């Protein structure tokens, strides 16, 4: 009996990660498909391969050259590709899927992948629009498979230790009043792109997906983060990460309202997303989170989240942290852990052994709440808040 036949015969929605692990076998390699073979997909697949736990089965993308670049970069030899997600979902050799498409395709693709009984690593942000969250949450609940979301700091040992040492009731920082995050200097999003002829074997309509239909325009594909129809740029790419860290440490996933200012101050092309933003978000537990970001070459000593407390401060960044108590010596810690590697390993452990996920769908959906709130404020030019049951974002009256 084929492994996939067994899954279908028993009902994919009924399977747990542990039961599926029994089918797969602890030493079996996980058959992986990559949907979205661009820069992020390429990088994450590379980290997956380092674990020696996966075998690439098939790629799915809107452009064959994107797949070819990934295959050549990772020296994979020959791996088939398709433009049709359904071909991936019907492939019995595919156990899990890395979904690394542009943001506007996340919800629809993810729901189809989960319904097919494939384990899913869903890159962040998990949703482009706030209201997409409920359908995605329900799809995960109905699937019976593992769904890891892409906030990789959740798998970092340093972050886990910091959470326990500084925020686990120790009160080392005293009462925390302000949390400030900075992250700038993104050359990839600074690119000013020009129209070029449509490449051969490029599927423009497939790229558009559920987004508004428009004529082919190369910058909208190659620089999709510049346009609000496909992503929210720095407000989703970066605020999602640092917002997640702040909420995790503070044990508060209830942003109340946000005010955001910024604009296209420097990059005068036809992009719609801002190149520079500042946002302030108020939280239910009584603290303010500020986020400052620009794609421009502003170099900070550390791109970090800084927790200001009445007894000291903690600056937390991916390569370490600096703890400065009001009384006593400063502590500097250096971190060399590869967060993406740790994150995909946790994903595979969950599939094979039923290990606890570090970033399940609940984490992914909470991580985008501050981003959605900040973006709503930016586009409306008003202070925005969640309504009483948090089903929608409305103007503060």
Each residue's pLDDT tens digit, 350-391: 999 999 999 999 999 999 999 999 999 999 999 999 999 889
Of 16-20, 131-135, 239-243, the least confident: 16-20
Each residue's pLDDT tens digit, 273-305: 999 999 999 999 999 999 999 999 999 999 999
CB 81 within 8 A of CB 60: yes
| Continuous H helices in 151-232 | 157-167, 187-190, 204-208, 218-222
Each residue's pLDDT tens digit, 250-272: 999 999 999 999 999 999 999 99
Mean pLDDT across 16-23: 41
Q: Taking all residues of the chain, what is their mean pLDDT, rounded to a whole number?
A: 93
CB 206 within 8 A of CB 334: no
Per-residue pLDDT at 24: 58
117 pLDDT band (50/70/90 cuts)?
very high
Mean pLDDT across 137-143: 98
Question: Is pLDDT of 116 > 80?
Answer: yes
Question: Is pLDDT of 2 > 80?
Answer: no
Each residue's pLDDT tens digit, 21-34: 434 555 689 999 99
Best mean pLDDT range from 13-27, 42-56, 159-173:
42-56
Mean pLDDT across 83-105: 98
Question: Is pLDDT of 20 > 80?
Answer: no
Which domains does the chain possess? 22-153 (3.40.50.720), 157-336+361-395 (3.30.360.10)
User: What gap in Å lies between CA 22 and CA 77, rounded to an integer?
Assistant: 30
Angle at 132 between CA 231 and CA 278, to 5 degrees: 45
Each residue's pLDDT tens digit, 146-168: 999 999 999 999 999 999 999 98
Per-residue pLDDT at 28: 87
User: What gap in Å lies between CA 382 and CA 258, rounded to an integer?
Assistant: 9
Q: What are phi and psi of 83, to 5 degrees?
A: -95, -10
> What percent of the chain is predicted at pLDDT more than 70?
93
Question: Is pLDDT of 66 > 80?
Answer: yes
Each residue's pLDDT tens digit, 323-360: 999 999 999 999 999 999 999 999 999 999 999 999 99
Per-residue pLDDT at 168: 81
User: What gap in Å lies between CA 374 and CA 261, rounded to an integer?
Assistant: 9
CB 202 within 8 A of CB 101: no
Per-residue pLDDT at 13: 33
Each residue's pLDDT tens digit, 171-202: 899 999 999 999 999 999 999 999 999 999 99
Per-residue pLDDT at 153: 97
pTM of the model: 0.92
Per-residue pLDDT at 27: 65
Per-residue pLDDT at 191: 95
Alpha-carbon distance values, 222 to 67, 180, 216 (Å): 14, 32, 12
Per-residue pLDDT at 4: 29
CB 98 within 8 A of CB 106: no
SS3 at position 171: coil
């Amino acid at each position: 009996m084929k492994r996939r036949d067994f899954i279908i015969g028993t009902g994919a929605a009924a399977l747990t990660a542990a039961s599926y692990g029994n089918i797969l076998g602890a030493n079996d390699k996980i058959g992986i498909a990559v949907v979205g073979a661009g820069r992020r997909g390429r990088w994450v697949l590379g980290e997956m391969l380092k674990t020696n736990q996966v075998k690439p089965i098939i790629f799915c993308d809107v452009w064959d050259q994107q797949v070819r670049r990934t295959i050549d970069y990772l020296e994979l030899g020959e791996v088939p590709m398709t433009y049709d997600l359904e071909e991936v979902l019907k492939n019995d050799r595919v156990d899990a899927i890395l979904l690394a498409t542009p943001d506007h395709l996340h919800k629809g693709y993810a729901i189809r992948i989960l319904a097919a009984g494939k384990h899913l690593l869903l890159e962040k942000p998990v949703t482009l629009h706030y209201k997409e969250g409920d359908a995605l949450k329900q799809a995960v609940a109905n699937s019976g498979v593992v769904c890891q979301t892409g906030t990789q700091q959740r798998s970092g040992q340093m972050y886990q230790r910091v959470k326990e040492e500084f925020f686990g009731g120790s009160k080392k920082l005293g009462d925390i009043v302000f949390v400030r995050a900075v992250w700038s200097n993104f050359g990839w999003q600074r690119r000013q792109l020009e129209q070029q002829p449509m490449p051969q074997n490029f599927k423009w309509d497939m790229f558009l997906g559920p987004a508004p239909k428009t004529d082919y325009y190369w910058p909208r594909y190659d620089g999709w983060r510049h346009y609000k129809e496909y992503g929210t740029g720095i407000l989703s790419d970066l605020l999602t990460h640092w917002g997640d860290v702040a909420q995790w440490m503070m044990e508060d996933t209830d942003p109340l309202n946000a005010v955001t200012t910024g604009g296209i101050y420097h990059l005068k092309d036809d992009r719609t997303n801002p190149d520079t933003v500042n946002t302030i978000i108020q939280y239910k537990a009584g603290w303010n989170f500020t986020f400052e970001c620009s794609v421009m070459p502003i170099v900070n000593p550390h791109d970090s989240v800084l927790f200001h407390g009445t007894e000291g401060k903690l600056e937390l960044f991916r390569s370490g942290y600096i703890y400065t108590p009001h009384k006593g010596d400063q502590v500097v810690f250096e971190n060399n852990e590869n967060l993406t590697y740790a994150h995909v390993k946790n994903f595979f452990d969950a599939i094979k052994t039923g290990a606890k996920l570090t970033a399940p769908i609940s984490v992914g959906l909470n991580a985008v709440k501050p981003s959605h709130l900040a973006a709503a404020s930016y586009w409306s030019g008003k202070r925005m808040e969640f309504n009483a049951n948090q089903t929608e974002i409305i103007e503060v009256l």
